[in-house]
Amino acid sequence: MLKQAVILVGGLGTRLGEMTRLVPKPLLDVAGRPFLDYILDELSRYPTIQDIVLLAGHQAGQVVDRYRGRRWRGATVSVVSEPAQMGTGGALKHAASRLDEKFLLLNGDSFFDFNMLDLAAPVRSPAIVRVALKKDQAGDRYGRVLLDRDFIKTFLPAGAQPNGPINSGVYCVDRDVLSFIDEGPCSLEQAVFPRLAEKGQLRAALYDGFFIDIGVPADFERAQTELPDRVCRPAVFFDRDGVLNIDKAYVHEVDDFEWVAGARAAIKLCNDRGYLTFVVTNQAGVARGYYGIEAVHALHDWMSADLAQIGAHIDEFQYCPYHEEGVVAEWRQASDRRKPAPGMILDCLKGWRVRQEFSLLVGDMPHDLQAAAAAGIKGHLFEGGDLLSFIRPLLGANVASQLTRG
């Protein structure tokens, strides 16, 4: 299971001139926040990502001071500083002792809105490096990528071709890549990737989300307005028992858990379409003494690991262990988080940047829909069957008519 992400934040950023002389490019201010914060927010959406490593170079002290040792939702951030400018490949080799067997690798000066777990899903064909390609991106400043099926054959320089896919700077990497990196300064893009392509060890997947690279002044200025808008997304709220899994009454153990038909694929569709994806579930079994909150957490962790096998995830699990008739004193009380009250939904709306007007809830009971209405979002009653077939038209209508992505 993929647990690590590595971000390259060591470049000099010479095309931005004086702006990056004293500040690392990924730490430049975009709408009141360092650009790197937006990337960390994206990575922390994936519950399986627990370790984020920043590879710092230029003005590394600023990266250390701001990020070393911080928690970013469920992930811990650490920093590895280069002793000198070593290039993207050299920086990776310098951090060899910190790398997992497989990890996500991202450029710290670009943002690509797509489902990163899809790139890392075990169902994809094996390769030492898998590259996320933006399907098309206007502008002569980008080099293009030539493919043979999903194999990358070669990279064309900027201006050589007016259209076609580009390298987004997001990769799923096996640690074996280190054997292709020479000692000393080395560029992944110029020295390592061509060698991997020759050996058939460089594969690609195409995505069509919003992409921006802040490496030139015009795009840096564009990021000031476009990036904050793009990271405010619609959300799908799922009830759990009876919607995502068969309701067998107080399910709390993996052995009793059974996905509803199409549930995993429905979650992945939400991820792929760019929706935030939440679970909001009443868990009165805790108050009634049937199981503890540790069992709730363990089951949700198992769900996250199982979803990751197909490149899917839940952004956040919200649950309410309270019930006014509970037998466990700690949990015996009324709660504004217990549906039909909207507390769990409202907590998600407070904790995430959500386009509330385009969001929706899927539940199997009237109290689910009452909670949705109280929170100001649309509720849809799922009465069984295939969840993917149920949710597809709901997402399609929203995406086609309300959202512009890419």
| Catalytic sites, residue numbers | 239, 241
- Alpha-carbon distance of 157 to 155, in angstroms, equals 7
Decide: 149 and 67 in contact? Cβ < 8 Å: no
Decide: 82 and 60 in contact? Cβ < 8 Å: yes
* Cis peptide upstream of residue 340 (ω within 30 degrees of 0): yes
Hey, which residues does 276 pair with through a beta bridge? 235
- Rounded (5°) CA angle 364-311-43: 100
Judged by DSSP in three states, 254 sits in: helix
- Alpha-carbon distance of 397 to 403, in angstroms, equals 10
Spatial CB neighbours of 155, under 8 Å, sequence gap ≥ 6: 143, 144, 145, 146, 167, 189, 193, 194
Decide: 231 and 223 in contact? Cβ < 8 Å: no
The amino acid that residue 235 corresponds to is A
The amino acid that residue 341 corresponds to is A
Give the pair of three-digit tokens for residue 269. Answer: 């569709």
- Alpha-carbon distance of 312 to 305, in angstroms, equals 9
